[in-house]
């Protein structure tokens, strides 16, 4: 009985998470499901509603980084729709199809977009995946998962991503050591993604797809200029002005909205369609969903007598006599599952992880950091609160929780690979 008392905060969290799943299964609406989960957290954890919404939340939500975050979200969704309206999505699809065999072309689009660490970036590549599979060899669920899976090849190791940067900082590892230890998972994810998602399409008669005759102007009309603007502004701004007020989302916001301005100048999208994009129900319903996901995450930061909820859950795990290695895996996994964002699971779990490693007297932390990060990553990929997972599922009109089943086999392979690789890293002293 003492054991269950010690992990009571975690058990309540699992109940709340179950409420989200059950609500979605019955209501088929992820926005309402998250509201149900938030209500459950407030009720079960006794969070004072007035204190949270009137005192605590404004200090977290009404900040420059959060403003730029939502400017990025709105801009990415608008840019994605405007590129489609301008016919540039079709152009880039034709260019890639002339150079990359189907079904590999399905993976290229989200992988390229994945180089841009923008929240909700899966909505940017979704129209390209849909266009590349215009013969509909894949179901809506398969399209959603292909878009989602290959969009996240880079976040295992690329230091453009905030989660990677925070993991490097909290672990005390060098950036190059972290990249060296984690880059193998991009390769593993690429291989397992092909075997599970794309090989069957190839066997069914894949080739270069249904190529269309493309004019010589396709290269000029493809959205490479807009993508280059986003990437260029982000990289230059981050390098030249690393400490500027507004956080990491400032340069992404400037890049995305600059790209929108250039796109509107160089194309002839009718004004009615532009207004339809910016004032349409699709864009603002997704923005509302992202807002709720962020508020849900802020609930974990609300301070109480025993610390924040995240700290209480971490403390209950480490204080219940559970073996440290289990905590190293389970805590990041749960954090990834309930927060749905890499910087979130790293920020919640890594202070505990590094404290445990220090207590264990571990000098070479690389293998343990890898294990913790990959566990959190797997939880994040399965999270119904992961913005990319939500927007990809919504775009292809597929069932979010059924899509999770399509992720099971690849993620089991990633988990098994991490378990084996742990001993390889220890053997090499990395």
- Cα-based angle 82, 83, 88 (whole degrees, multiple of 5): 145
Mean pLDDT check: name the lowest of 96-100, 333-337, 399-403.
Answer: 96-100
Q: Answer with the residue of higher pLDDT: 245 or 64.
A: 64
Domain containing 105 equals 1-203+222-428
**pLDDT over 80 (residue 246):** no
Rounded to an integer, the average pLDDT of 415-430 is: 93
Burial 181-190 (b: 16+ CB within 10 A, else e): bbebbbebbe
Q: Answer with the residue of higher pLDDT: 12 or 382.
A: 382
Task: For the chain, give the percent of residues with pLDDT over 90.
Answer: 23
pLDDT of residue 112: 81
**pLDDT over 60 (residue 215):** no
Q: Answer with the residue of higher pLDDT: 189 or 201.
A: 189
d(CA 378, CA 9): 22
Residue 87 lies inside a defined structural domain of this protein: yes
pLDDT of residue 372: 96
**pLDDT over 80 (residue 10):** no
Count the Cβ atoms, other than its own, within 10 Å of residue 204: 9
The total number of structural domains in the chain stands at 1
Q: Give backbone dihedrals phi and psi of 304, rounded to 5 degrees, phi first.
A: -135, -170
| Mean of pLDDT over the chain | 81
pLDDT of residue 217: 47
pLDDT of residue 294: 74
Whole-prediction pTM value?
0.69
Mean pLDDT check: name the lowest of 95-99, 198-202, 212-216, 289-293.
Answer: 212-216
Q: Give backbone dihedrals phi and psi of 307, rounded to 5 degrees, phi first.
A: 95, -175
d(CA 233, CA 170): 27
Q: Is 232 exposed, middle or buried (0-12, 13-18, 19+ CB in 10 A)?
A: middle
**pLDDT over 80 (residue 48):** yes
Query: In terms of residues, how long is the chain?
Result: 430
Alpha-carbon distances, residue 89 vs 28, 93, 141, 214, 218 (angstroms):
30, 6, 21, 13, 10
Sign for the pseudo-dihedral over CA of 156, 342, 387, 384: positive
Residue 213 lies inside a defined structural domain of this protein: no
Q: Give backbone dihedrals phi and psi of 96, rounded to 5 degrees, phi first.
A: -65, -40
Q: What are the tens digits of pLDDT across the range 159-179? A: 767 788 778 877 888 878 898
Residue 209 lies inside a defined structural domain of this protein: no
**pLDDT over 80 (residue 428):** yes
Task: For the chain, give the percent of residues with pLDDT over 70.
Answer: 86
Query: Are 82 and 263 contacting, i.e. CB atoms less than 8 angstroms apart?
Result: yes
Q: What are the tens digits of pLDDT across the range 14-43? A: 787 778 778 877 887 777 887 888 898 888
Residue 215 lies inside a defined structural domain of this protein: no
Q: Answer with the residue of higher pLDDT: 202 or 332.
A: 332
pLDDT of residue 317: 64
Rounded to an integer, the average pLDDT of 193-198 is: 94
Give the β-pairing of 303-304 and 307-308: antiparallel
Q: What are the tens digits of pLDDT across the range 259-313? A: 999 999 988 888 899 999 899 887 888 778 778 877 877 787 788 766 777 667 6
pLDDT band at 117; cut points 50, 70, 90 = low
pLDDT of residue 56: 81
Q: What are the tens digits of pLDDT across the range 356-368? A: 787 667 888 999 9
Q: Give backbone dihedrals phi and psi of 7, rounded to 5 degrees, phi first.
A: -105, 25
Residue 188 lies inside a defined structural domain of this protein: yes
**pLDDT over 70 (residue 346):** yes
Query: Are 198 and 138 contacting, i.e. CB atoms less than 8 angstroms apart?
Result: no
Q: Give backbone dihedrals phi and psi of 308, rounded to 5 degrees, phi first.
A: -70, 165
pLDDT of residue 415: 97
pLDDT band at 214; cut points 50, 70, 90 = very low
d(CA 278, CA 234): 23
Residue 130 lies inside a defined structural domain of this protein: yes
Rounded to an integer, the average pLDDT of 57-83 is: 82
**pLDDT over 90 (residue 82):** no
pLDDT band at 410; cut points 50, 70, 90 = very high
Q: Give backbone dihedrals phi and psi of 384, rounded to 5 degrees, phi first.
A: -75, 0
Alpha-carbon distances, residue 306 vs 39, 51, 57, 124, 309 (angstroms):
21, 16, 19, 41, 8
d(CA 23, CA 105): 36
d(CA 299, CA 34): 12
**pLDDT over 70 (residue 222):** no
Residue 62 lies inside a defined structural domain of this protein: yes
pLDDT of residue 411: 98
Residue 208 lies inside a defined structural domain of this protein: no
């Amino acid at each position: 009985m003492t054991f269950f008392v010690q992990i009571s905060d975690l058990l309540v969290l699992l109940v709340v998470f179950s409420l989200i799943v059950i609500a979605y299964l019955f209501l088929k609406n992820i926005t309402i499901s998250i509201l149900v989960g938030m209500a459950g957290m407030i009720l079960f954890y006794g969070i004072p509603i007035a204190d949270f919404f009137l005192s605590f939340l404004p200090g977290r939500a009404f900040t420059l980084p959060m403003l730029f975050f939502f400017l990025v979200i709105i801009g990415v969704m608008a840019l994605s729709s405007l590129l489609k309206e301008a016919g540039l999505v079709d152009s880039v699809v034709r260019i890639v199809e002339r150079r990359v065999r189907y079904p590999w072309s399905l993976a290229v689009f989200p992988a390229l977009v994945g180089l841009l660490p923008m929240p909700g970036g899966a909505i940017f590549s979704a129209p390209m995946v849909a266009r590349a599979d215009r013969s509909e060899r894949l179901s809506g669920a398969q399209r959603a998962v292909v878009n989602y899976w290959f969009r996240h090849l880079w976040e295992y190791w690329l230091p453009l991503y905030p989660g990677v940067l925070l993991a490097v900082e909290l672990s005390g590892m060098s950036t190059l050591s972290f990249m060296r230890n984690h880059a193998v998972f991009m390769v593993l994810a690429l291989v397992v993604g092909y075997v599970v998602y794309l090989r069957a399409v190839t066997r069914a008669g894949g080739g270069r797809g249904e190529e269309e005759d493309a004019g010589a102007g396709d290269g000029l009309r493809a959205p490479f200029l807009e993508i280059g603007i986003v990437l260029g502004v982000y990289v230059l701004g981050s390098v030249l002005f690393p400490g500027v007020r507004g956080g990491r989302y400032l340069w992404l916001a400037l890049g995305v909205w600059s790209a929108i301005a250039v796109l509107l100048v160089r194309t002839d999208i009718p004004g009615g369609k532009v207004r339809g994009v910016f004032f349409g129900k699709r864009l603002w319903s997704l923005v509302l969903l992202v807002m709720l996901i962020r508020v849900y995450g802020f609930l974990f930061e609300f301070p109480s007598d025993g610390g924040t909820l995240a700290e209480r859950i971490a403390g209950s795990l480490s204080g219940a006599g559970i073996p440290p290695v289990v905590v190293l895996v389970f805590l990041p996994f749960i954090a990834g599952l309930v927060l749905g964002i890499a910087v979130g699971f790293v920020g919640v779990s890594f202070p505990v992880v590094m404290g445990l490693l220090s207590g264990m007297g571990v000098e070479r932390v690389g293998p343990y950091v890898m294990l913790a990060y990959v566990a959190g990553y797997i939880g994040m990929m399965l999270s119904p609160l992961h913005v990319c997972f939500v927007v990809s599922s919504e775009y292809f009109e597929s069932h979010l929780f059924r899509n999770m089943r399509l992720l099971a086999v690849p993620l089991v392979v990633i988990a098994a690979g991490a378990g084996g690789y742990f001993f390889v890293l220890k053997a090499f002293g990395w």
